Amino acid sequence: MSIEYLHTMVRVADIDAALKFYCDGLGLEQVRRVDSEQGRFTLVFLASPADVKRLGGIAPDANPTQVNIPMVELTYNWDPEAYQGGRNFGHLAYMVDDIYEAVERLAAQGVTINRPPRDGHMAFIRSPDGISVELLQKGERKAPKEPWASAENIGVW
């Protein structure tokens, strides 16, 4: 089994204040920004200058899930929401060689698959301490496969 760390997602209430902190304060660089009118959110992926340099730079349109450096994903939801109980901490993300093999192995260990990989690309689970963990299929998404294709979400992710 192969697994690669991708990013940690943090929800932010003020994207400008967050960018000032993470970029101007900590010195991280913006790797990619996605503004979704339909989803009413903005995603900003940040990495350290040393990690960007190690890769030899990153194309502005690079898909963050295909860039092998640790990143922070800032998620700004356009509709105001009060984040309580650690909800502003979003999730850890890992890329796996086979999304179906990964969730089947975890399910066999008694882990609840909160967001099944219906699309052959993404699943969410929770650690024993309630930390949300995103699993993403490495490379192209896999064809939908039962029982996952028709599985419902369980709980929150």
Domain ranges of the chain: 7-77, 98-150
Q: Is 50 helix (H, G, I), strand (E, B) or coil?
A: helix
For the chain, what is the mean pLDDT? 87
Angle (CA) 15-126-92 rounded to 5° is 40
- The pLDDT tens digits of the residues spanning 92-144 come to 888 889 999 999 999 999 999 999 999 999 999 988 768 888 999 989 999 99
Active-site pick, 4, 29, 134, 152: 134
Check residues 146 and 5 and name the one with the higher pLDDT. Answer: 146
Q: pLDDT per residue over 18-34, tens digit each?
A: 999 889 877 889 988 99
**134 included as an active-site residue:** yes
Of 94, 96, 148, 155, nearest to 120 by C-alpha is: 148
- Type of residue found at 102: A
- Give domain 7-77's CATH superfamily: 2,3-Dihydroxybiphenyl 1,2-Dioxygenase, domain 1 (3.10.180.10)
* DSSP code for 63: -
